[in-house]
Amino acid sequence: MAVRWARWIDHLPLWIVLGATVSTGLYEPGELVVMALPLLVALAVEGLRWDVGRHHRWLEIGALLFFLGDLALGRGLYAVAIHTLFLLAGVRLVLPREATQRRQLLLIGFLLFLTTAIGTTDITFLAWTLAWACGATLSLLQLTWEPSASLRRGSRSHPPYALVPAWVGAALLFGTVFFLLLPRLSLGLRAGLLPGASRSFGKAGLGDRLDLAGGGPIEPNPEVAVRIAPPQGIDPTGDPGWAQGLGLLRGITLEATQGQRWEPGATPSYAFAPAWNTSSRRAEFLFYPSPQGLLALPSGLVRLEPADPLIARGPGASYRWRYQRARSVPVTVTWNAALPELREPWLSPRRAELLTRLEPAHEAARRASLRLAPGIQPTPQLAQTLESALRRFRYTLDNPSGQAPNPLEDFLERTQAGHCEYFASAMALMLRARGVPARVVNGYRLGPWIPEGGYFRVSQNEAHSWVEHWHEGRWWTSDPTPHGPVASVGGSQGLRAYERWLDALRYRWDRHVVRFSDDDQQLGLTWIQGRLQGWEWHWKAPSKTWSWTLGLAAFAWLLWRNRARWHRRPEGPGRIRALRPLLACTHRTVAVEPGDTARSWLLRLGALRPERLGELRLLADAVDAEAYGPGAAAATTLAKAEAAAWRGWNPVEPSSS
C-alpha cells in the first residue's frame, strides 16, 4: 500500500500550493491556468503510467523556451518566476524520479508556498498552511521511511501516517508559543502590487478619478475596505443616532472636468474642527490596503489619531497614507455630525468659474436640466427637483452607456440607466448648467452592521459617488442615485449568518494575530502579573483522619506500582532486556513456557514463521553473546528490528514475505 501511494504523495504538496495560490485572489484566471496545466499533465502521465523519460531533453528545452517567451511578454520577473517554478514541478513529476528529485519537488513546493504566503494575511490561509505542513510532512516521512524499510526482510510495514496530524499539531503549538513571546517582524510585502499580479480594473471600488467613457460592466468586489468598530459598550442597534454622519464616508472631491472625465481640483485644505463636545462620536476605523491609499472619513471630522507622520492631505480635500500600506492600519476617528462637512465661507472668482464650467460634450446636461426642472431658479428647490427626477432612472452595473460616443448624453436621453458615477456626474453638470457651483465626491456608503463582531463592514461594493453643491457659504450634499442595497444600522444587507460569522472571525484574526504587536505583549504580561499579584492562597488543612487515609492510599499505590521489584524475576527470555519489545509483540502468539530459554523460545517463534528463522537464529546468537560476552548492542539492534517485523502479524493469515 505504501509503495502504491508513494508516487502520488509527491503531487500532494504542489496541489496544496496551487489551492493556496487560488485562494489569495492575487492572480488572473489566465495565470492560474498556466500554473495548473503542468500539474494536470503530470497527473495524467502518472495515472496512465506513461514513460516519458526518454524525452527528457525535449521537455527541458521546452521549459527553457517557455521561460524565455514568458519573460519576453513583459509580465515581470515575479510572475515569470512563479510560472516557471510550476512548469519545472510538472516536468519533474512526469520524469522518473529518485529520492534526490523528490526532494527537489519538495523544495519547489516550499518556494512557491513562501511566495504565496507573503501576499496574504487572511485567516483562511491558515488552513492552507496546515494542509501544506501535512503534505510536506507526508513527503518527508515517505522519503525517510523507504530506505530503512527496504533493508528489512519479511513483510513490509507501512510508514506511521497516523502520526502526521500529531506532529503538525505540535509544530503549530510551538509556533503559537514563539509568536506570543518573540518580537514582531513584519516585512510588509504584498505580491498583489508586484508585476504580473492581478488588478482590480472593471471591479467595484473607490477611485481617485471618474471616467464615464470606455467602461464596460462593473463586477462586484467583496474585498473589505474599512471596518468601523464603536467604543466598548456602544451598540448602534439600540442607539441608531450614534451612527449619524457615517452614512456617506468622504474619500475625495472631483472638481475639474475634461470631457467625460472628472479629476481632483485645487481644493483648499481644511483644518479639523476645533470643537469636541458631547455631540462628538469616536470609533476605530480599520483601513485595509488600497491602490490609491485614500482614507474614507465621516463628515464633520474633528480628529484623527495618529495624524502624523502616517497621514497626509492630498488633492481633492483627501486624506491619504504617506506610504503605501501592505497591512491593515487602525485609525481612531472623532467626528461631529452636527458640524458642516467642509467650511468654505466664500468662493474666489476663479474657483466659482471652475465649479460652473461646462464643455461642449456636456450640452446634454443643459438640455436635461431645463427639461427636468423648468422654470426653477438656482435655489435648494432646484437641487431637490433634479435629485428626485434622476432617482426615477434605473440603477445598474451593466453600464449600457459606457461604449457610446457621448456616454453622458446616452445616459440622459436614451438608456436612463447606469451606476452611481453617471447619476452624480449628470446632476453636478445639470446644476452647473443653471449657474450652481457643484462637484462630485467619491467615497463609500456605510456597510452592514455585523452583530457577531460588533462593527460596520464597508466593502468595495459600497463604493459610491454623490454630489456637493455650494449655497449660502457651505456645501450641501445630494445623492441622486436610486436607493439600492443601502446599509441600515440594524440590518445585515443580505449577508447570511455564516458569512457574518466568517467575517467576524477574520476581523478577530486581523486584530489579535495580524496586528499583534509588542504593545499587546506588554498588555498581556501586565494582565498576567496583575492576576498573580492579586491571587491569594485559600487552603484549609485537612483533618488528621483524612491525612492518614490519603497517606496510606499513596503508600499502597506506590507498593502496587513497584510490585515487580519485590519478586524474583523469572528465568527465561524475560530476564533479557533486549527481548522485551519482541515479547510484547508475541506474548499472545507464543507464550513463554516454564523452563524456556531465550534460544528455545526464539526457535519456537521460527517454527511459526519459517521465513524469519534465519533472523531469529542470529538474534539467539546475539542474546547468548550478551549473556556470556560483550554483545549487548548487537542483541538490542536485532531485537528491535525483529519486533518491528512481528508487529501487527496475524497468525491466522499465512505468512508472506
User: Each residue of 293-317: pLDDT tens digit?
Assistant: 899 999 888 888 886 667 888 888 8
**Maximum CA pair distance of the chain?**
122
pLDDT interval class at 656 (50, 70, 90):
very low
Q: Does the structure show a pLDDT above 60 at 155?
A: no
The backbone torsions φ and ψ at residue 455, rounded to the nearest 5 degrees and listed phi first, read -160, 165
Q: Please name the amino acid found at residue 335.
A: W
Q: Does the structure show a pLDDT above 80 at 418?
A: yes
Contacts made by residues 233-237, CB under 8 angstroms, sequence distance 24+ = 235/454, 236/449, 236/456, 236/489, 237/449, 237/451, 237/489, 237/490
Question: How high is the pLDDT of residue 542?
Answer: 62
The backbone torsions φ and ψ at residue 632, rounded to the nearest 5 degrees and listed phi first, read -65, -40
Our separate counts of H helices and E strands in the chain read: 20, 17
Q: Does the structure show a pLDDT above 70 at 141?
A: yes
Question: How high is the pLDDT of residue 197?
Answer: 37
pLDDT interval class at 386 (50, 70, 90):
very high
Q: CA torsion, points 140, 146, 152, 154, in degrees to nearest 10?
A: 120
pLDDT interval class at 501 (50, 70, 90):
confident
Q: Does the structure show a pLDDT above 70 at 347?
A: yes
* 41 touches 90 (CB < 8 A): yes
Higher-pLDDT residue of 142, 560: 142
Q: Does the structure show a pLDDT above 50 at 190?
A: no
Question: How high is the pLDDT of residue 489?
Answer: 38
Rounded Cα distance, 603 and 590, in Å: 11
Residue with cell 532486556: 577
- Read off the pLDDT of each residue in 594-611 and give the average, rounded to a whole number: 83
Name the least confident of 279-293, 380-394, 411-425. 279-293
Please tell me which of 22-26, 439-443, 471-475, 644-648 the model is most confident about, judged by mean pLDDT. 439-443
30 CB-near residues (< 8 Å, 6+ apart)? none
Higher-pLDDT residue of 150, 164: 164
- Read off the pLDDT of each residue in 385-394 and give the average, rounded to a whole number: 93
pLDDT interval class at 1 (50, 70, 90):
very low
Rounded Cα distance, 497 and 505, in Å: 12
If you average pLDDT over every residue of the chain, what do you get? 80
* 46 touches 7 (CB < 8 A): yes
C-alpha cell at 325: 500600506
Question: How high is the pLDDT of residue 432?
Answer: 93
- Read off the pLDDT of each residue in 637-648 and give the average, rounded to a whole number: 76
**Listed residue (123, 127, 92, 130) closest to 10, CA to CA:** 92
Question: Measured between alpha carbons, how far is residue 107 from residues 60, 112, 143, 594 in Å?
Answer: 19, 9, 13, 57
Please tell me which of 319-328, 518-527, 555-564, 644-653 the model is most confident about, judged by mean pLDDT. 319-328
Q: Does the structure show a pLDDT above 80 at 148?
A: no
Question: Measured between alpha carbons, how far is residue 499 from residues 194, 204, 487, 494, 532 in Å?
Answer: 30, 20, 16, 10, 40
pLDDT interval class at 463 (50, 70, 90):
very high
Asked if omega into 306 is within 30° of 0 (cis), the reply is yes
pLDDT interval class at 429 (50, 70, 90):
very high
Considering the entire predicted model, what is its pTM? Answer: 0.65
Q: Does the structure show a pLDDT above 60 at 365?
A: yes
pLDDT interval class at 443 (50, 70, 90):
very high
- Read off the pLDDT of each residue in 432-441 and give the average, rounded to a whole number: 92
110 CB-near residues (< 8 Å, 6+ apart)? 13, 136
The percent of residues above 70 in pLDDT, for the chain, comes to 80
Q: Does the structure show a pLDDT above 90 at 438?
A: yes
